[in-house]
Amino acid sequence: MVIDTSGSVSDTELGSALLEVAAMVRVLGGRRDLVSVLSCDAAATVVDSMCRAEGIPLVGGGGTDLRTGFAKALRASPRPDVIVILTDGQTPWPDAPPPCRTVVGLFPRGTRWDEDDPDYVPDTPPEWARVVHIG
C-alpha cells in the first residue's frame, strides 16, 4: 500500500488512509506480514514493521510524485500481487501499467484544488487501475 503524504493531503485524509490499511489487514485475516506500507510524497519511505495501523509513521508533506512509490513497491521482494495507492489524485501517473493489479483509492474532493492556478485539474488515474472512492 502506498499512502500519499504530500502537502495537499489533509490529516483527516491520512487518518482515512490508516483506516483503509487496518481494513486491508482484517480482510487478510489479520496477516500483517502480507501488507507493506510506503509513505510517498515526491520520495517513497518504507515502513519497516507494522504492529498496528495506528502506529504507522507517515512522513512527507512536500510535492507529489507517486511514480516513486510504484517503483519502490515493485522493487520489493517478494514482488507485490497488488499495489494499492491511497491519494488525492494530484500526482503524475506511470505511463505503463505495473506487472500487478493496481487499485487507486481516491480521497473525496470537490471541484476546488489547493493550487495557485485556478484552472488546475489533476490527471485522472490511468485506465489500467481500478479506482475506488474513499469516504
Chain segment 94-108, per-residue pLDDT in tens: 999 999 999 999 998
70: burial class by Cβ within 10 Å (0-12, 13-18, 19+)?
buried
Residues 23, 114: Cα–Cα separation, whole Å:
29
Residues whose CB falls within 8 Å of the CB of residue 133, separated by 6 or more in sequence, listed in order: 105, 106, 108
| Contacting residues for 78 by C-beta, under 8 A, at least 6 apart | none
Mean pLDDT is highest, among 14-23, 29-38, 55-64, for: 14-23
Quote the percentage of the chain above a pLDDT of 70: 79
Domain ranges of the chain: 2-133
Strands 38-40 and 44-46: antiparallel
Kindly report the backbone phi and psi dihedral angles of residue 14, in degrees, each rounded to the nearest multiple of 5, phi listed first.
-65, -40
Q: How far apart are CA 40 and CA 59, in angstroms?
A: 8
**pLDDT tens digits, 6-32:** 888 888 888 888 888 888 888 888 777
